[in-house]
Structure 1
Amino acid sequence: MPMSAAADRTAVLALAAALVLGSAACDAAAPSEGPPSYTTLTIATSESSGMTAVLAAAFHTHHLDVVVEVRSNPRDVHDRELPGLLASDAAPDLVLLNSLGLAPPGSIRSLDDHARQYGWTRTYPASLLDQWRASDDGHQLGGGHLWAAPAGFSLVGAYYNKELASRLGITAAAGSRQLDAACTRAKAAGVLPIQLGNEQGHASLLFQSLTDSADGAARATDWVNGRTGTTLQQGGRHAAEALAEWAGRGCFPADANTVDLPGAAAAFGAGAGLYLVDGSWDAQPIDRAMHGKVGFLPFVGDNGRATGIGTSVAYAVPARARHPDAAAAFLDFLNSPEAAQIEFNAGFLPVAHADQVTTDPGSVMNDIARAWARVNEDDGLVNFFNNSTATMNTTLTEQTQRLLARQTSPTAFLTAVQEDWERAH
């Protein structure tokens, strides 16, 4: 995810339909003059692929009386400023939620009425919509009121370099035992086994993928949702021990804690690393760098069932929004066939109509689509551990960095993670 000190502010009209997904965000531009009478719908986001801007332009072509303005910030800035933004008299009409815990109680509207109005419970698979349900106090996730609506799902799995796998005689597979064996063979051949950037805590993707495949999606989901009495002591212990051992064996880059995820993805695209555990949001740059030479796999447990970390880019309507009905209409547009193709082009799995999207036969997005289908068939989708509490992202960043640097033990790592969880649940 690109990080910059200044916010990007993009005014999106029909003309913006020419935006190219994945391009750098544009500098601030004044909105063109709209119709004689029009509504300005404002969206605050940290989504960095350009998808939201293109969705906004497409929505405008169907609602010429609505001008959509997208304001984008890096995720850390967006999350930090979100409570103040929601409390402001100038609150936007839609805000991206990276976690339900980031929105103070009473600061966003329940979408229950809009869900009934538009029939979203028929459009969205229940398990995917439930990721954005919570009790009024926010302590119990996965049920209760609907607070946000999805705008394209992401899936985490293992990208692999097909040429390196062939040269090493490795049949690519994503599981603890397979990755351990690949580490041994790749190291012996002088090949970096697993590319990794952990400056912002993305080793948590590997930690969670190993945990989910060991414990199963149902148990991992209970922990994310705050179900009383759940812990990560079984699969989590195995995963933490694997990370510590692989770090000690040199299976990751020596400078992993000082490289961010985009940097690791770029290094992988340049041929450094047999595997990279990353999300579908990085599919486009990886595919451009390694077109036809990169694959993608879900993690599979010893029981043969696939699991995958995944959630959606999701938008909520602030309690202080000036145009809640126009905001709901935009959210409903997100599950149209037109939006599905835009979402897929940006590296996201569509909210609906996945059977109607098309892509280049050589694109890694085909592997990602197959992985998505298998994960859903095995009921294996798990929300990000980072979303289990408002502070878990910080905790996982700090603790995975210490684990890789051998400044903490797997036991102490798990204790710190569980203590954060218990403070919130």
Structure 2
Amino acid sequence: MKINRRAFTGLMGTTLLGLGLAACGSGSGSSEGGATTFVIWDYETETSAQAIAWKRAIEIFKDRHPEVEVRTVEQTFEQLQKNAKIVLTGDDVPDVMEFNKGNSTSGQLASQGLITPLTDYAAKYGWDSALPASLQTTARYTEAGLMGAGDWYGVPNYGEYVFVYYNKDMFEQAGLTVPTTLEELESVCDAFVAQGIVPFAEAGSEYPMGQLWYQLVLTQADRNFVNAYQLFQGDVDWRADPIKAGTERLASWIGKGYVAADSAGLTAEDAGASFVAGRHPMFVSGSWWFARMVADIAGFEWDQFLFPGTDLYPGSSGNLWVVPANAKNPDLAAEFIDITLSEEVQAVFAQHGGLPVLGDPTTIEDDKTRVMTENFQEILDGDGLAFYPDWPVAGFYDQIVSAMQSLINGSKTGAEAMADLAAAYEEGKAEIVDV
């Protein structure tokens, strides 16, 4: 599982054995001489919910089109991130491919004319009415490549979000129950600190700490703030609430010992493994950790709950299906995308621990998987996905990591750390808005 960069930014890519892009000479779809080859590029591991669900989608597609040869080419997230703009300018392209969402990824390809507008297909197949609004945000881009408006350039068929994994045994031994308010959560943390236990498994050198910071900001925020921060539909005041309140709360949590003093140098893997080992009662991170928890936790009972005191949560659609502008079979690509959104394929997502965007949670047999899916549906119904804190501008991930480290080690105050972020944010925003 690639926990490094992927989880903080909502990236769902994992490193595969895949083929290098430069070596994909037979990677393009074709329909010459009466024979049609339909080519799919993705970067999911064979055991992931995505790969299992898409395998079923391919089987359905083949049943509908026995005359079409389907070829899947395994890439890696890193290959596509680095080389997509170069490869997609040629004719040796897939018919449909998995790609990351956001201004600097799918938005950039859209603004450069490298992927096909899918608005007409969205209307034809009903994606524009079936998918929740917060998921449609990641699918649509302006001519400048800004997420949230304009034509459809991609289609999500699974989701992801951040919640709290917790050690049920540690809670029960301390006589504590799942908190339902932010104040109750702080009382739980105080109780653990009093016992010499650091409440949160955290990491400052990668994404988890930034997710916690953003979640605390979101407890004081509304959709207008999210739209201003993520979509530039308004100005963001880095010296005022909700950013000021969320940052001050995080700084107070650090001071109270809710986060380990040495966590500034820890990675996401360190944090997750520490929770798995039973050293901390809580871990705030995403649904991409779920399969890891199921597979690796053996010494205690665990469960999950939504972060209390908020209606907004870090999360988004999963990666998008996009259709290269030079694809040979765009109509078949749209049909395949629609199959991945079918009731049958969405049910496969659900049964294997994925988060279907159009699934029925009541059909899920495993209790933990069903709760995770039901909670996600609750967030979707409330328009509660707030995306990820580093999405707005290029390079912001590293800036947020640096700010979080400075808060943990006390080298900067909350106001100083936010001033640094404000400068980077405004500079990046100007580069996008002024295009």
Q: Common fold, TM-score beyond 0.5?
A: yes
Per-residue deviation at 1:112?
0.4
Determine the C-alpha separation between the residues in 2 that align with 1:167 and 1:260.
Answer: 28
Deviations 1:297-330 (A, max 9, x none): 22233xxx53222211122222233432332222
Letter in 1 for 2:338: D
CA separation of 1:61/1:394 partners in 2, compared to 1, >3 Å: closer, same or farther?
A: same
Determine the C-alpha separation between the residues in 2 that align with 1:373 and 1:282.
Answer: 18
Task: Please say if 1:266 is aligned against 2:273.
Answer: yes
Q: What value does the CA root-mean-square deviation take over the aligned residues?
A: 3.0
1:382 aligned residue: 386
Letter in 2 for 1:375: I
2:331 aligned residue: 325
Contact 1:201 1:401 in 2 (8 A): no
Deviations 1:16-71 (A, max 9, x none): xxxxxxxxxxxxxx99xxxx945141314368962332233212212222424142
Per-residue deviation at 1:78?
4.4
Task: Please say if 1:199 is aligned against 2:205.
Answer: yes
Determine the C-alpha separation between the residues in 1 that align with 2:15 and 2:358.
Answer: 34
Contact 1:56 1:68 in 2 (8 A): no
1:240 aligned residue: 247
Aligned residues: 396
More strand by share: 1
Letter in 2 for 1:206: L
CA separation of 1:3/1:190 partners in 2, compared to 1, >3 Å: closer, same or farther?
A: closer
Task: Please say if 1:67 is aligned against 2:70.
Answer: yes
Per-residue deviation at 1:351?
1.6
Determine the C-alpha separation between the residues in 1 that align with 2:237 and 2:44.
Answer: 30
Determine the C-alpha separation between the residues in 1 that align with 2:303 and 2:371.
Answer: 6
Letter in 2 for 1:97: N
Contact 1:199 1:257 in 2 (8 A): yes
Determine the C-alpha separation between the residues in 2 that align with 1:174 and 1:208.
Answer: 19
Per-residue deviation at 1:152?
0.4
Determine the C-alpha separation between the residues in 1 that align with 2:128 and 2:172.
Answer: 45
Determine the C-alpha separation between the residues in 2 that align with 1:242 and 1:367.
Answer: 29
TM-score, L = length of structure 2: 0.81
Deviations 1:72-105 (A, max 9, x none): 42x5564344433444543443131142322422
Letter in 1 for 2:129: R
Letter in 2 for 1:402: S
Determine the C-alpha separation between the residues in 1 that align with 2:207 and 2:366.
Answer: 32
Deviations 1:348-375 (A, max 9, x none): 32121324541323xx223323322332
Give runs of ≥4 in structure 1 deviating > 6 Å: 3-6, 46-49
CA separation of 1:415/1:375 partners in 2, compared to 1, >3 Å: closer, same or farther?
A: same
Determine the C-alpha separation between the residues in 2 that align with 1:3 and 1:368.
Answer: 19
Deviations 1:234-289 (A, max 9, x none): 12222222333333443224443443324422321221211111111111221334
Letter in 2 for 1:129: Q
Per-residue deviation at 1:224?
1.1
Gaps of 5+ in 1: 11-29
Gaps of 5+ in 2: 5-13, 20-25, 28-33, 63-67
Secondary structure of 2:166's counterpart equals strand
Contact 1:296 1:371 in 2 (8 A): no
Task: Please say if 1:9 is aligned against 2:18.
Answer: yes
Contact 2:218 2:246 in 1 (8 A): no
Letter in 2 for 1:311: S
1:26 aligned residue: none
Letter in 2 for 1:2: K
1:275-424 equivalences under 5 Å are 275-290=282-297, 293-301=301-309, 306-313=311-318, 314-355=320-361, 357-361=363-367, 364-422=368-426, 423-424=428-429
Deviations 1:146-181 (A, max 9, x none): 121112011211111111111222222265433433
% identical aligned pairs: 21
CA separation of 1:325/1:406 partners in 2, compared to 1, >3 Å: closer, same or farther?
A: farther
Secondary structure of 1:286's counterpart equals helix
Determine the C-alpha separation between the residues in 1 that align with 2:89 and 2:397.
Answer: 23
Task: Please say if 1:212 is aligned against 2:208.
Answer: no
Determine the C-alpha separation between the residues in 2 that align with 1:196 and 1:202.
Answer: 6
Contact 2:102 2:138 in 1 (8 A): no
1:83-232 equivalences under 5 Å are 83-92=85-94, 93-103=96-106, 104=108, 105=111, 106-139=113-146, 141-173=147-179, 176-232=182-238
Determine the C-alpha separation between the residues in 2 that align with 1:47 and 1:201.
Answer: 22
Contact 1:216 1:380 in 2 (8 A): no
Determine the C-alpha separation between the residues in 2 that align with 1:47 and 1:108.
Answer: 24
Determine the C-alpha separation between the residues in 1 that align with 2:290 and 2:352.
Answer: 8
Contact 2:53 2:346 in 1 (8 A): no
CA separation of 1:72/1:177 partners in 2, compared to 1, >3 Å: closer, same or farther?
A: farther
Letter in 2 for 1:280: S
Contact 2:200 2:280 in 1 (8 A): yes
Determine the C-alpha separation between the residues in 2 that align with 1:370 and 1:386.
Answer: 26
Determine the C-alpha separation between the residues in 2 that align with 1:260 and 1:321.
Answer: 39
TM-score, L = length of structure 1: 0.83
Determine the C-alpha separation between the residues in 1 that align with 2:392 and 2:69.
Answer: 35
